[in-house]
Structure 1
Amino acid sequence: MNKILWEKVERFEFDNATDQYGFSTRLALENHWTSYFTQSALLEYKKFMFLAATNNEMVSPSEIVDIVWHQHLIFTNSYSDFCTLLGKRIEHIPSTHNRSEFEKFKSAKERTKELYKINFGVQPAEVWDYHNEMDSLQLKKSKFDVYNLRKKFLIYSLLASVPVCILIFPLLIKIKNPYFLIGYILSFALLLLVLNFYAKRSFSLLYEKIRSNPIIQNLSPLELVFLTEDNLEKVVHGVVNNLIMSKKVRILTDNRLGLVDNSFSNNRYENCVIEIMKDSDPMPYTQLCYAVIQKPIFGQLQKSANRIKDKIRASKEFTIVIISSMIALGLFLDIILSRIITGIWRDKPVAYLFIAIIPFLLTAFYNLDRISNLLFTKVIPTSFKQEIRKNSQNENDWE
């Protein structure tokens, strides 16, 4: 291995510190990659190009590495500089997908794996073995769409109320008021506690299954904030707050924010805020927040976090928890609907039941939504906090 060349290749920078839409940001934004995975893919691209430059035989990239390569070709100056550093112009040869080409590229892929092992060790699976890096989570896709099921939750509950009413009719006519409503309220509260415990335990088991995956394991603090809050403003709060605490930004007497120190650091998100403030007069926080949110570097956080959510929510394990919760809540709503149907059938007053069902419906929807987000708002953040507190070398690190 040419260690001197590799050290130069490893130090090669694709971005400038002040870039708001540089190579890595564009790569991450267009492919909805996390910050870690973007840097991982860039490193593997460097390794592949090093192998291509130092071997006379053909080597073949993974689909992920090929995405990086295609993107780099667009940045012509950077690509030329990189090839100059490598000492060889690496030409991109697209496959024509005919039979002879297939055998040639298959052999090249096997050769690449052997050369990689000799020079760098084992190829990271999430970059080299998958077309879609999210498949490395190894979650089985569900047959059901949780989002559509939730939208139709009330319809399904109403349709099920008639058969439920027929089934429990003999029991309903025996229970007098107000005992029915008191018992129902207590039972409903108990159901919510049981569902919360069930969901938390089930999602903890799901997280244990995926937590060792490098993409999940290396979520950045800001990606975790968005994963938890589902709100980019909360991410901006953290970045701007630290600029204030580090005295780079100060709050003026008219509640506008003014830039005190315009020097850049190695934090790209802080640099983005500084860049905006350098070109503007002091502005209210809401205006600054809006301007920051529009920047691609922050949009990438949102897209990558949502991609992780979508992958997990489409899994069989996640869907089972949501469907089970929907069935339990739906059946409980059917009980009070059955009481109304029974009352109407027997010509009893049911006006108070119509009023009472509204808070139960709202509570059911709220808890279903809460359970749907529990993995992202509680289970994953809590695990990260515990792990960081246990291993942190710097307790003053604001992130």
Structure 2
Amino acid sequence: MINKDLWAKIEQFDFDQTPSEYDFTLRLAHENYWTQNFTKQVILEYKKFMYLAAVSDMMVSPSEIVDTVWHQHLIFTKSYSEFCTILGKQIQHIPSTHNKKDLQKFKIAKERTTKLYETHFGKQSETIWNHANPFESLNLKKSKFKLRTSLIIGIVAFIILIFPLYFLLKPLYLNIKNPDFIFLFLGSIIVSIVGLEWYNRRKFSQAIHLFDKDSFVLDLQPYELIYLQNKNISSVINGAVNELIDNGSIKINEDKTISTNKLTFIRSREHQQIIDLLNELGKISYPNFLIQLITKPVFSNIIRSMEAVKKYFNRSKVFSNLFVLNFVIFLALIIFGFLRIVTGILRDKPVLLISFAVIILSFMMIGYLFRLTNLFSSKVLPHLYKTEIMPKKDTNNDWQWSYFLMGTAVLTTSFVPLTNRLISANSDGGCGTSSSSSDSSCGGSSCSSCGGCGGD
């Protein structure tokens, strides 16, 4: 039976006892490319693990993800000391030496931990307890080659195949006159694009069904999804500021500047950061305020975690195969048109129209492949939330979910002109609000060498 008094104290322990711009929770999320909900869930699992360590007289062992939280908590020495006081004993972190004796000891400890966990808390989270990092819950095999490699190979193949294909296709070109060839060429392009569009979305849908049911990707917050859709963190900030204008925490002044009211209503980390910065700066124009907000960890973490999701998916075998297929089909169409141009030039025939079509197709290929790299994050995943996940949630009275669904249509009327000024400032070379990709590879940091903890 669970010790309710002890668990209540552990559950209520706040790792962010001194709220700051870069506190325990936000640092944990930021350094590991974790989403907000996943970070909260992992901290809860860490508390459960430490409860088991407190009530067990034998060694228990964390998962690699839980161990990541433990490592950071050890750095916050004051907080860790206070936490151990609540636990009733000092929980020691014992690293593994990777010898056979240790491996067997930690294997037994892990099995013991699973049994204890199920006795006190029920079934363990698959994502947190059986994976080295949350991205493994997507169950996507990593591609053996980079997209850049496929592009280089494709260009080389284009050059090599020009000569044999020219002689192979020459009889066909001689038998098809214009404008029949143009109609055939344009028809092939249309059919190919329609077919690729259907096939791409089908493969994306199949990939989603590979995800664990408790995968972190299926538990994103509205602002994270808004960033995925728009690839612009200013859209997220606009929503958070609008919430504070709606509840009276921020006022819009006659000179189109913003400032805080005496009474503020804070409902999220985003709100807290906005109010703290606005109190520090005082009355300020919204474009200038936005420039400073973008760099704050609470917003940059949304960029980092969502870009990590996109990057991980784009490095998967599923996506790489799909990208290559799209590239090959477009390249085949370009070769087909290019060789028609060569044939026409050698026969002194007009080639202006087909040349124009091939140039347009080349630009279309670049745009389409670039769009493909964003399709999962900007279209497929948000669509999944709108059609399958949101209907199962109680989102009717949640403004953030309404903003995700309807965009700027739900912004406060008095606030819209300020965002329009922001757009104008951007177009004039003013404040930069475009997103930047995460600055290192995703996957988070976890210590696989940790064996477990020793009870007293």
Same fold (TM over 0.5): yes
Q: 1:210-251 CA distances to partner (integer Å, 9 max, x unpaired)?
A: 273431211111111222222222221221222223332233
Answer yes or no: is the 8 Å Cα contact 1:18–1:264 preserved in 2.
no
Q: Which runs of 5+ in 2 are unaligned?
A: 401-456
- For 2:241 and 2:218, the matched residues in 1 are separated by 26
Answer yes or no: is the 8 Å Cα contact 1:161–1:335 preserved in 2.
no
Q: Show the counterpart of 1:68.
A: 69
What's the offset of the Cα at 1:147?
A: 4.7
Matching of residue 3 in structure 1 with residue 4 in structure 2 = yes
Alpha-carbon distance change, 38 to 331 in structure 1, aligned in 2, over 3 angstroms:
same
Q: Which runs of 5+ in 1 are unaligned?
A: none
Alpha-carbon distance change, 395 to 17 in structure 1, aligned in 2, over 3 angstroms:
farther
- For 1:255 and 1:164, the matched residues in 2 are separated by 64
- For 1:99 and 1:141, the matched residues in 2 are separated by 30
Q: Show the counterpart of 1:346.
A: 347
Q: Show the counterpart of 1:175.
A: 176
What's the offset of the Cα at 1:76?
A: 1.3
Aligned positions, number: 399
Is the deviation greater in 237-246 or in 56-65?
A: 237-246
Alpha-carbon distance change, 305 to 389 in structure 1, aligned in 2, over 3 angstroms:
closer
Q: Show the counterpart of 1:48.
A: 49
Is the deviation greater in 228-237 or in 26-35?
A: 228-237
Q: Give the SS at the match of 2:258.
A: strand
- For 1:352 and 1:254, the matched residues in 2 are separated by 56
Is the deviation greater in 323-332 or in 97-106?
A: 97-106
Q: Show the counterpart of 2:254.
A: 253
- For 1:155 and 1:242, the matched residues in 2 are separated by 53
Is the deviation greater in 266-275 or in 316-325?
A: 316-325
Is the deviation greater in 167-176 or in 257-266?
A: 257-266
Answer yes or no: is the 8 Å Cα contact 1:249–1:261 preserved in 2.
no
Q: Which has the higher contact order (CA 8 A, sep 6+)?
A: 2
The residue identity in structure 2 corresponding to 1:218 is D
Q: 1:359-381 CA distances to partner (integer Å, 9 max, x unpaired)?
A: 22111211222223222222211
Q: 1:176-232 CA distances to partner (integer Å, 9 max, x unpaired)?
A: 233322332233123212211111122122223227343121111111122222222
Answer yes or no: is the 8 Å Cα contact 2:147–2:320 preserved in 1.
yes
Answer yes or no: is the 8 Å Cα contact 2:127–2:134 preserved in 1.
yes
What's the offset of the Cα at 1:272?
A: 0.9
What's the offset of the Cα at 1:2?
A: 1.0
The residue identity in structure 2 corresponding to 1:133 is P
Structural mapping, 1:361-372, within 5 Å: 361-372=362-373
Structural mapping, 1:25-104, within 5 Å: 25-104=26-105
- For 2:307 and 2:152, the matched residues in 1 are separated by 19
RMSD: 2.2
What's the offset of the Cα at 1:4?
A: 1.1
What's the offset of the Cα at 1:18?
A: 4.2
Q: Show the counterpart of 2:317.
A: 316
State the TM-score, normalizing by the size of structure 1.
0.93
**Amino-acid identity (%):** 39
What's the offset of the Cα at 1:102?
A: 2.3
State the TM-score, normalizing by the size of structure 2.
0.82
The residue identity in structure 2 corresponding to 1:324 is L
- For 2:328 and 2:341, the matched residues in 1 are separated by 20
- For 2:253 and 2:153, the matched residues in 1 are separated by 50
Answer yes or no: is the 8 Å Cα contact 1:63–1:131 preserved in 2.
yes
The residue identity in structure 2 corresponding to 1:290 is I
Matching of residue 130 in structure 1 with residue 131 in structure 2 = yes
